Every structure is written in C-alpha cells, then in structure tokens.
Structure 1
Amino acid sequence: MKCDEKIMNRMKRAEGQMRGIQKMMEDGKECYDIMIQLSAVRSSIESVMGIMVAENMKDCFENPLEDPTEQAEKIEQAMKMIKKL
C-alpha cells in the first residue's frame, strides 16, 4: 500500500508539531503545555495509523490476489496491523 498525499500531509504536520514541542522544551515551557502538545501529536499519529489500516483492509477486499495462499497472507498481515492499534 502506498501512502497518499493526505497521509503524508498529516505526517508532516506531526513532524512540525514535534519540532514545536522540542522548542517548547528548550524554552523551558510548562510541562502541562508540553503534555497538551504531545497528546495532540499522539492523536495525530493514531489517526494516521487508523487511516493506513483501513486503507489496507479496503485494498485486501477490493483487490484480492489470485493466489488464495498469498491472499490469506495479505489478510493476515492486515489483521496484524489492526492488532497493533
């Protein structure tokens, strides 16, 4: 599964948030404010993970492989991704 532009934009936003958090820490900002930002990054990453898992499952069913063994492996991999959420 390839990452689409929407996912990449979310990842870039999370990366920018992380840089902002590092700056907050360097500037000695309050832990509470840093934790709020960390929570936002975590939420963003979890959202990306959910989108990727959903897209992967959709692909498994919309584009089945001809070889049943390979298809079963593809679905098993998708299930492992769900378990990691």
Structure 2
Amino acid sequence: MQADEESVRPVLNHLRRAQGQLAAVIAMVESGRDCEDVVTQLAAVSRALDRAGFKIVASGMRQCLTGDSGTPPMTRRELEKLFLALA
C-alpha cells in the first residue's frame, strides 16, 4: 500500500488498537474469563479491523481508480469485490 503519512497514521492506529485488543482476548480465553466479556472484547477487535479496512480502501480509492500507484486502474467489479470483502 502506497499512501501518504497522513493517510497511513490512522490506519496504523486502528491496527495497533486491534492488536492490543486481540492480545487481551487471547489472555481472557486462556484465563477462563466469562464468555460475555470475551465476546464483547472480540467485537471491539472486529470493529477496529473494520475501521482500518475502510480507511485503507478510502485512502487508496484514488490510486485504485486511476492506477496512480503504478498498477492498472481497478474495474468497478474489482472495487465492489474489495468493499464486499469488508462486510
């Protein structure tokens, strides 16, 4: 992914947050924590990853449409598939 620093920073923040939350989920499962607590934390991981994915797609949209990154432009079908992968 080629993007400017301003676009990458929020994505990395979401990914780091998800990484920390996932480590917490693993620790919770290993220690036998309550199912509701584990699922709540797991949902937070999922949201952080979703947000990172949407930010990646949004920040890279221009590159995807125009081929600015040195790759051929994406078709409408390819873009739709990319968005649906996040759903």
Please give the TM-score of this superposition, normalised by the length of structure 1: 0.74
CA distance in 1, matches of 2:40, 2:67: 44
CA distance in 1, matches of 2:82, 2:53: 9
Structure 2 residues not aligned, in runs of 5+: none
Number of aligned residues: 78
Per residue, is there more helix in 1 or in 2? 1
Letter in 2 for 1:33: D
CA distance in 1, matches of 2:48, 2:24: 15
Cα pair 1:10 1:48 within 8 Å, conserved:
yes
Identity of aligned residues (%): 27
Residue 83 of structure 1 corresponds to which residue in structure 2? 84
Q: Which runs of 4+ in 1 moved over 2 A?
A: 58-61, 74-80
Please give the TM-score of this superposition, normalised by the length of structure 2: 0.72
* Max Rg structure: 1
